[in-house]
Structure 1
Amino acid sequence: MRTRSTVPSRRVLPRRLATAAAAVALAAAGLAWPSPAAAAPTPPTLPAPVSHGITAGQLVPVAGSAPLYDVTLTTDAIYKRVDPAQPTVTPLRPSIKVRILLPTNYQTNPATPYKTLYLLHGGNGDFDDWSTQGDIASITAAAGFNQIVVMPEGGNAGWYSNWVTGTNGNIAPQWETFHMQQLVPWIDANFNTTGTKAGRYIAGLSMGGYGALRYAGRYNNLFSAAAGFSPGTNIEMPWAQSLIHGSVVQVPLAPTAPGAFIGPYSASTPNLAQYQYPLGWLWGPHQVFGPTEQWDAQNPVKLATAEKYNPYTKLALYSGTDQGDGAIHGSVVDMHNNLKAKGVYPRVCTGSGDHTWPFWKNDLADFLRYVQGQTPATCTTNPGWTLKP
């Protein structure tokens, strides 16, 4: 909740007199009267808004922000109908958003190709989290990262995956298809990116940290650097299964603001549970519900053993050791050991810290310097954090 600040009451000059008095004071001091705030820059035109399975509108500036823009789009991938004969969630093509941070000189240097960072949000989060809570514009500016940052919707509990079978709502979300097979080429088609593996990075926090590592392992042909901030790295752990189960059963499926439901559905909708996700339908049965053979290809610790991260020269893991991150820290250590066993030595930063934004923002700042070759000697600005050998 925001509170309005109070000041002692005082006599106020009529507006015209106050304006004139201020102008005289400035002139006496040899200062110029401040010019009106500059109008928001005209958004760049998207040359291929309908392409690669995506139907999108034009960029819309985010009010009062740095060069941040939103684009609203639809795709068949998010809610894939399972049985055409059965009723399903409506609409099947809900509008979702992607927030994009453009370099400050993007429109004045049209011939310059830019690198691209895909930055993923966490569970029960939203596409704008990294700007509203993560202060992405200030972090990138301070790190000298004047490149493109793409912040896509990932679902409240989508887990950055293609769901194996349908939910009771008769849909099988295909987040991986949307992000990797549609959004990445769509961004390259509509913005002046390098369009290369060397110029493409991915990172995320919590559920998005899992998603970033999962995508990095499965699509090592697309990215040259990856990072997980408080990431899930081992989905076979009992605590991880419990967390995933809780998220997919309790969190609404709508890929909008947390707590929002699609169309007419609300918290008072009868039989609302049918529009939420039972765990067994995510990557296939796990050890509680059946065989786990399908899980290795979804699991970062197993992807490390399979040498899927070996092509990376810039790989980073960050986790606190306090409550909220304690169990995560153990799985990060496991992944670190699996990577080292295969000759991969990532940047691993740990220390006293929990599952909150102040730590994730410092993690991102460290990662941005790391990928640009600065490689800070100390791990983030989190007090007491150290670099694990």
Structure 2
Amino acid sequence: MPNYHNFIRLMKQVAFIGLFFVQVGCSSFKGTELAYEKIPTSSLDKTIEYGVYTPPNWVKTERLPLVLFLHGARDDHNTLEQYKTHRYFDQQINAGQLPRFILVTPNGGKGFWENWYDGSHNYRDWVMQDILPKVQKDYNTLDCPEHCSLMAISMGGFGALRMASIYKNSFSSLSAISTPVLSNENKQDAKVPLLVRLFFPLKRIFGPKLYNGDESQSIRSVWSDKNNVALQKIRLQLIWGDKDQPNIIRTNQRFHELLQKNGREHEYFIYDGGHKWVDWQPNFNRVINFLLK
């Protein structure tokens, strides 16, 4: 009989411990913080995923500016939640350090946000023709271009500078963070790091040469062109780290100097850090305030 009671007591203890860990697991688990959706693309028989950040206590009757965020090569549409950037935005907004805004972050894979040379992916058109109009409608955002901005890191910065130069009447401001400003003008500037060349289908994306070999269509050329009136209207911010990747430091410095030489107004800032999220996120206050001022 004592053995039976001991057995029952042991089972109760095991059940209690199990319930405790279940409760701890449930209480520490936080559900999806961004709204995630998947939509078909109009240009090809594919779907594309994206996440949407809304500020604390947002309701649909509140009309807010829209920020389009283009992620880097190692990221996707879940990255803001992964690095708790949404929490950073919440804290900054609640503290009065940031204005209220809505942010959409599509999944661009490793495609440089380009319409691929081989025709298999049209990331730029998917974002501009499919995702952006849907988010504007679903979230009742303020009108573009006046209240639409581009924010991007690394590979995304290249895509953002290209996207705005092609859809030049769609945005009022752009911030490119730690961006490789690739160019055919200079062999060093056209050089893509070895790991990128190994793991990215660059020839499928760009073809034999960047910009189809037409340097007049390069990021450097179009953004510094005084006669490109529509693009000149977009407020531009360049940010990179003093310990960033060598090609990013070099190409951004050269791009900045060319913009200065041609009288193209822009803001630039060099932060203390490298090419990581831990370096980028502390600068997002500066970025959002620049975009939405």
TM-score above 0.5: yes
Structure 1 position 211, deviation (Å): 1.3
- Helix, strand or coil for the counterpart of 2:274? coil
Q: Aligned match of 1:292 in 200, 207, 213?
A: 213
1:172 matches 2:124: no
- Helix, strand or coil for the counterpart of 1:117? strand
User: What residue number does 2:114 align with?
Assistant: 161
- Helix, strand or coil for the counterpart of 2:136? helix
Q: Is residue 158–residue 181 contact of structure 2 (8 Å, CA) maintained in 1?
A: yes
User: What residue number does 2:35 align with?
Assistant: 69
Cα 1:242–1:372, aligned 2, differ >3 Å: closer, same or farther?
closer
For structure 1, which segment, 177-186 or 133-142, has the greater mean C-alpha deviation from structure 2 after superposition?
133-142
Q: Is residue 304–residue 338 contact of structure 1 (8 Å, CA) maintained in 2?
A: no
Q: Aligned match of 1:106 in 58, 62, 68?
A: 58
Q: Deviations over 1:146-200 (max 9, x none)?
A: 21100001112x0111112x2xxxx521111101222222222222111221110
Q: Aligned match of 2:71 in 117, 121, 140?
A: 121
Structure 1 position 63, deviation (Å): 4.7
1:211 matches 2:134: no
1:96 matches 2:76: no
Q: Aligned match of 1:317 in 216, 238, 241?
A: 238
User: What residue number does 1:247 align with?
Assistant: 196
User: What residue number does 1:135 align with?
Assistant: 85
Structure 1 position 245, deviation (Å): 7.3
Q: How many residues align?
A: 263
Unaligned 5+ runs, structure 2: 1-12, 17-26
User: What residue number does 2:8 align with?
Assistant: none
Q: Deviations over 1:300-319 (max 9, x none)?
A: 2122123443112x321111
User: What residue number does 1:34 align with?
Assistant: none
1:301 matches 2:255: no
Structure 1 position 351, deviation (Å): 4.3
User: What residue number does 1:281 align with?
Assistant: 204
Q: Is residue 230–residue 318 contact of structure 1 (8 Å, CA) maintained in 2?
A: yes
Q: How does 1:19-98 map to 2 (within 5 A)?
A: 63-64=30-31, 66=33, 68-77=34-43, 80=44, 92-93=45-46, 95-98=47-50
Structure 1 position 103, deviation (Å): 2.6
User: What residue number does 1:146 align with?
Assistant: 100
Q: Is residue 98–residue 152 contact of structure 1 (8 Å, CA) maintained in 2?
A: yes
1:362 matches 2:285: no
Cα 1:212–1:140, aligned 2, differ >3 Å: closer, same or farther?
farther
For structure 1, which segment, 302-311 or 218-227, has the greater mean C-alpha deviation from structure 2 after superposition?
302-311
Q: Which amino acid aligns with 1:178?
A: W
After superposition, the CA RMSD in angstroms is 3.0
User: What residue number does 2:264 align with?
Assistant: 344
Cα 1:369–1:185, aligned 2, differ >3 Å: closer, same or farther?
same
Structure 1 position 208, deviation (Å): 0.6
Q: Is residue 304–residue 335 contact of structure 1 (8 Å, CA) maintained in 2?
A: no
Structure 1 position 124, deviation (Å): 3.0
Structure 1 position 240, deviation (Å): 5.5
Q: Is residue 205–residue 228 contact of structure 1 (8 Å, CA) maintained in 2?
A: yes
- Helix, strand or coil for the counterpart of 2:52? strand
Q: How does 1:227-246 map to 2 (within 5 A)?
A: 227-236=175-184, 237-238=186-187, 241-243=190-192, 246=195
Q: Deviations over 1:241-273 (max 9, x none)?
A: 44377536524xxxxxxxxxxxxxxxxxxxxxx
Q: Is residue 140–residue 365 contact of structure 1 (8 Å, CA) maintained in 2?
A: no
Q: Which amino acid aligns with 2:116?
A: W
CA distance in structure 2 between the aligned counterparts of 1:244 and 1:326, rounded to whole angstroms? 10
CA distance in structure 2 between the aligned counterparts of 1:74 and 1:215, rounded to whole angstroms? 20
Cα 1:197–1:346, aligned 2, differ >3 Å: closer, same or farther?
same
CA distance in structure 1 between the aligned counterparts of 2:193 and 2:127, rounded to whole angstroms? 20
